[in-house]
Amino acid sequence: MYLINLFSNLAWCNIGYIDWEPWLAQIFTRILNRFSLPVGKKPASRDDCLYMMPDVAQWLVAMIGNGGSCLQYLRDLFTATKTFYHPSNTGEFQQYLIEFILKLVEPFVERVRLERKIRPHWTFVPHESHRLTEQDITDFVNCIKDYAFMSIFNEDYIEDAAKACQYLSILRPELIVPPIMKKLFLSIDNITEPGRFTLIMKCLPGIICQIVRQTSNYSEGQTYVLTLMMSILPCIDSNDFEKIAVTLEVLDAILKLVPCIDCSSAIHTRNDLTEIEKRVCLSTTQFEDFITDFLNRIFQMISIRSAEMFDDAVANDIIHQKIIKFLTGSLFSSKVRKFVAGLVRVIIKVNPIEILKYLLPQTCEHIENIMNNSQTAILMDHKGDIELTWHLVLFSELVRARGDTLLIYKQMIMSVFHQCIRIVHKDSYEAIAKAAKHLLKSLSDLYSIDDQLSFENMDESFVDCLPIRAWGQHVDFDQLQVQYHFPTVDEIDFACEFVNTFIYAELQLLNEKCLNLSKEERLRSLTLIHYIAVGCLRMVSRIESNQIYALLPIYYGISQYDVNKLCQYIGLNEALFKYKLGGKRQNLRFLTIKQITIQIKKFELYHFETFTEIDKQIVLKLFKLSINRYSDIRSNAQINLFTIVNDYFFSYQVIVDRIYAMLNRSDKVDHDQIKVCHLFSSIEYPSWTMMEKLWPSIIVCINHTNKLSIKTLIDEISTKISEEFHMHALIEDINEMSMRAATNLWDQLKPNEIGTCKERNQNNIQSYNNLMETLNLLLNDDKLTWGQHQISMSLMCLLLQKRVPIPLSCIRTLVDFIVHDNIELRKYAVIGMTALCRLQKPPRVYVEKSLDEILRH
């Protein structure tokens, strides 16, 4: 297996410089024998004898070119295995066969990209005579496509088959798109095999880009777009959830790349259209029917669960009218509210002015009428009013609109908050709290307000811009023309007025009447304060307090969860839409804007400030709450405490001593507190002082409890430490040259500052030696169990290094444990002694010799 990896890299980095022809027959024979195919009486190969498919595929791709016979051998290999690709031949071998296809096309696309780069990479310089020709690419696609098509109908490995088809369509869309579309249209009305439709639909999102995009070699794919969209609409049927899911996924991929604009009038205004473009322009008249039918089906599903000129403006009007009628004429239960809220969130971002004009006054009027006409004290009604709750949820989504569009509705918005701010029904006050957060973020945040497919204005006449030519096209970085929302003075004043009006009133209420309030009222007030604080954090300067540690990050209203979610969204879309043959500068416009948004959020998330005395008090209070007797309080406090500890890298030092005291307290055992302390002990921080205190405590505290869950937790912590621990620097030293360079760039260090580094190094060495000695004492303590000895031994083995002499007592213990009765302890002892021997090896001495001297000997 390792030889295959070596040969693969050798061939990839030396394309055209090695003649592989004499060995091709032997290479392909060995590959065929390693597929574990159930043929004849020969036993199948064991898993550990199988070659690594990426290495094999890369090797084969590197041998293609210059009219060699590699492609013919590849055809023969697929011919020999053709029957095993059929879905009816189930077995483990199909995993390797389908993976083989995927791993073949991936490096082939990469090779095509690298060979066509203007500035090639220095490690990839193929011989000119062996560069891939257009005929080589066509032959390769023709060789593989039929087997990729058969693999689509293998339900167990549909993901690999779909990716393979995506890569093949990038190379030759004219050979991949028509057959797949033909199979899809035949499967729509296939009653006997309904599963074929679902499997083909799972393959479509990856090739949508090749279907909708015009290229110099293939533009016929656009003729399928409207036919495809209209054909799969009937599949939005609430009786088959899987079919709905794949249908919506395909429509989502199409609508991200295709603006719904009727271009039929372009055939009368332009004289440069090809016959295919004329057909596509005429087909776009079906957008109106598609939008109407699509929205009707979606609204019908939600309800069950709880020939004029048609241009972009008309499309928006139809969408707005249907959505507004649907939203204002229905009440939704809690099960479907979040889905409908997501719908509002999208349309308010696309066209905030029109949506606010139609929906916001009507929504505010409904809320006001309900509050005024209520016969009961609706503010104190814990059961709530379903109609009021729905309109508050709708209101909270509408105030997500761009900040400047909300200014004209200022009085209306403030009136709703004044009326509903004291509602105690949980769903209602959570909706009003979210509305406060969304409003403040809309007014004060920096965000992009335009992420369309193209920066050109498609609403104008088709003389200057033809929308179908922009379908699925990539935009260079220099042509993005991104528009951002920058808070104006009026928006900042509105946000400040809102905060001053409501947050201080809530704080005063808690200070003066906290004891007289019910728990629901207190929770309402705290929830509102929390959401307002998160919404306005960008505008609030830090509270002045004594600094404790310098240059550590501070939270500015951006959560790591939001950043991770956005990264995941971009990763999924890049996998579908990124042009694999293009460079890094070629990407879809909306994806590039999302990437810019991520960088802005990361900059805000990792902004550097100081850890102050107030921050310390917050950490201590959260730690106290994290060991509370109530599980909900503990859970929420732990989440927030871990967030702060991760943001302020050295804030854990504030609670280390308290954790150490709790773990070593033998008079009274609180199992929940021990669990929490163990959770903090499992976090890896670059501190030898903390490790010196907490690691031995993890082992010893098992004696204080018989609870199985704690013992299981300790085993998990020790396993996590063993898997994720990295040796931290014991001695932080810098050579003289680097110190002189740093001095030239910065101010001269004071003598006491230089001494600080030396003092820290001495403390690290002392903590290391103390930790090793403590672990050694635990290993020699007969009162501890073998399980505790095993944890101690595993931790000691992780700490072996060569910068500081290892204590002799620890080496003696490792030698003694080689003959221990427990096999696990013997294994760790062998690992430790092996590491010690490697650490004792003298450094290699290299002697420079000429080639003549080497050959002479």
- Average pLDDT of span 88-102: 87
Task: Give the residue ranges of DSSP H helices in 116-156.
Answer: 134-152
Per-residue DSSP letter, 550 = E
pLDDT in tens, 739-794: 778 778 877 767 776 677 788 888 889 999 999 999 999 999 888 888 888 889 99
pTM over 0.85: no
pLDDT higher than threshold 50 for residue 551: no
Tokens representing residue 127 in the block: 């011989």
pLDDT in tens, 473-511: 777 667 777 777 788 899 999 999 999 999 989 988 888
Instruction: Give the residue carrying structure tokens 């019908």.
Output: 300
Last residue of a domain, one of 547, 562, 578: 547
617, part of any domain: no
Last residue of a domain, one of 123, 150, 171: 171
What does the alpha-carbon distance between residue 575 and residue 591 come to, in Å, rounded to a whole number? Answer: 11
Per-residue DSSP letter, 841 = S
Amino acid at 814: L
pLDDT in tens, 259-295: 888 888 888 888 888 888 889 889 988 988 888 888 8
727, part of any domain: no
DSSP state letters, 5-53: HHHHHHHHHTTTTS--GGGHHHHHHHHHHTT----TTSPPPPGGGSPPH
DSSP state letters, 510-547: HHHHTTTS-HHHHHHHHHHHHHHHHHHGGGPPPPP--E
φ and ψ at 551, to 5 degrees? Answer: 55, 60
286, part of any domain: no
Instruction: Give the residue carrying structure tokens 């392909």.
Output: 28
φ and ψ at 346, to 5 degrees? Answer: -75, -50
Last residue of a domain, one of 171, 204, 224: 171
Mean pLDDT of the chain: 81
Q: Which residue has the higher pLDDT, 418 or 88?
A: 418
pLDDT in tens, 11-31: 998 898 899 999 999 999 988
Domain range for 796 is: 737-857
pLDDT in tens, 440-455: 999 988 777 776 666 5
As a whole-number percent, the residues of the chain with pLDDT over 70 amount to 82
Q: Which of 315, 682, 273 is nearest to 468 (CA)?
A: 273
306, part of any domain: no
Q: Which of 674, 681, 688 is nearest to 655 (CA)?
A: 681
222, part of any domain: no
Strongest mean pLDDT among 471-485, 619-633, 704-718: 619-633
pLDDT in tens, 582-627: 666 667 777 777 777 777 776 666 655 677 888 888 888 988 888 8
**Total domains in the fold of the chain:** 3
Q: Which of 374, 389, 385, 464 is nearest to 429 (CA)?
A: 389
DSSP state letters, 260-317: ----TTHHHH-S---HHHHHHHHHGGGHHHHHHHHHHHHHHHHHHH------HHHHHH
Q: Which of 647, 644, 653 is nearest to 607 (CA)?
A: 647
* Residue 562: predicted pLDDT: 64
464, part of any domain: yes
340, part of any domain: yes
What does the alpha-carbon distance between residue 10 and residue 30 come to, in Å, rounded to a whole number? Answer: 19
* Residue 310: predicted pLDDT: 38
213, part of any domain: no
